Structure 1
Amino acid sequence: MNLPNMLTMIRFVLIPVYVALFFIGERYAAFGVWLLAGLTDILDGYIARKHNLVTNIGMMLDPLADKLMMLTVMFSLLWSGDMPWMAAVAMLIRDAGMIACSALFHFKGKKTVPANWMGKLTTVFYYIAILFVYFQWTYAVELLWVVIVFSFLTSFMYALLFIRINRKEEAEPEHRV
């Protein structure tokens, strides 16, 4: 197992640590764990790309670790009453739809859209909005809704890219040697 994949695995281990700290009332310590998870996410991707250590398992586990950590934070905020349940439902619908479509298309042999700047920007915006909600800052819920709308727009853009990639693939038959 290479270093980027080990960093991804650390994020999976940090999830129950975050939960334990959050629910015993150590919100700042839990936030530190969440921040550490975010830093390992940035670091693993950087190392994997810079040192040509990108693996298929890493490409699968990295976004899964990200989603599970974000869902964990979201559910903890929902449970504590800090996040509106409708916002949580909207986030779940968007993420579940993206994951289900990606898995379905992958198993049907379709090309999926690789992570790009839109997805990365959406993730950054989600983290900022959740940070506002986490600390109950002014306009936190309003910012969260703006980010949710933005995330649905980026999902639509991903769908358009998916269609374009797969139409191009169908139009250009494989060249066999």
Structure 2
Amino acid sequence: MATASGQVVSDRVLTVPNALSFLRLLLVPVFALLILDGRDGWALAVLAVSGASDYLDGNLARRWNQVTRLGQVLDPFADRLYILTTLLGLAYRGLVPWWLVVVLVARDATMLATLPVLARLGHSALPVHFLGKAGTFCLLYAFPLLLLGELSATLSLVAGALGWAFALWGTGLYWWAGVLYLQQVRQLWRAEHRP
């Protein structure tokens, strides 16, 4: 199997990019405890390390020809887990409204519901769409900015405004990409069941 760029996707498990993805996953509970405890500076530091490793694992995987099926699952899973953990932590502390949690979780639940259909059609997942990447990128920037705004009143004005802009753009793009994925699933279903 090959990626859209023509790179071969392997079944290897022990690779440097996969190790970085596992590290990101191990840091999720650490981050959750920090954000719930109000240790925003440390929580931001963990997010920065996670973001750097996210960037690094993808680049290393492509550069070293270590793109793996496991990595293709772990990387977006870690992204979703950080988004969910940050979102829940911020909502618990009253820094974002619960409706935002519902809107974003509903999108991921909708995508999760397509997995049995895809499996039945012989697909493990659909290729990641640019809009999905853009939405995730916006959300991964939004929540740290909102958290940064909690460190001081001066930062709150700028970081808060940018954080909410990224959050709203990200939410819109996230759902737009979700609609496109649903259309792809429908097309696959129709192609499979065409007489």
**TM range, smaller chain:** 0.7 to 0.9
Gaps of 5+ in 1: 172-177
Deviations 1:100-136 (A, max 9, x none): 31x2233213433211322211111112222333225
Check conservation: 1:5, 1:44, Cα contact below 8 A: yes
Which residue, out of 98, 105, 108, partners 2:120?
A: 108
Deviation of residue 92 (structure 1)? Answer: 0.4
Deviation of residue 52 (structure 1)? Answer: 1.6
Distance 1:55 1:99 in 2: 21
Q: What is the aligned residue count?
A: 170
Check conservation: 1:8, 1:62, Cα contact below 8 A: yes
Please show how residues 84-99 of structure 1 align to structure 2 within 5 Å. 84-99=97-112
- Counterpart AA for 1:105: V
TM-score (norm 2): 0.76
Relative to structure 2, which stretch is displaced further, 58-67 or 86-95? 58-67
Distance 1:71 1:98 in 2: 15
Check conservation: 1:110, 1:166, Cα contact below 8 A: no
Check conservation: 1:83, 1:141, Cα contact below 8 A: no
Q: Does 1:69 align with 2:82?
A: yes
Deviation of residue 142 (structure 1)? Answer: 5.7
Same amino acid, percent of matched pairs: 28
Give the equivalent residue in structure 2 for 1:174.
none
Deviations 1:8-48 (A, max 9, x none): 10011111111222233320110110121111111111111
Which residue, out of 137, 140, 154, partners 2:177?
A: 154
Please give the secondary structure, in 2, of the residue aligned with 1:138: helix
TM-score (norm 1): 0.83
Deviations 1:132-158 (A, max 9, x none): 332251364465234312221111122
- Counterpart AA for 2:93: S
Gaps of 5+ in 2: 1-13, 150-155
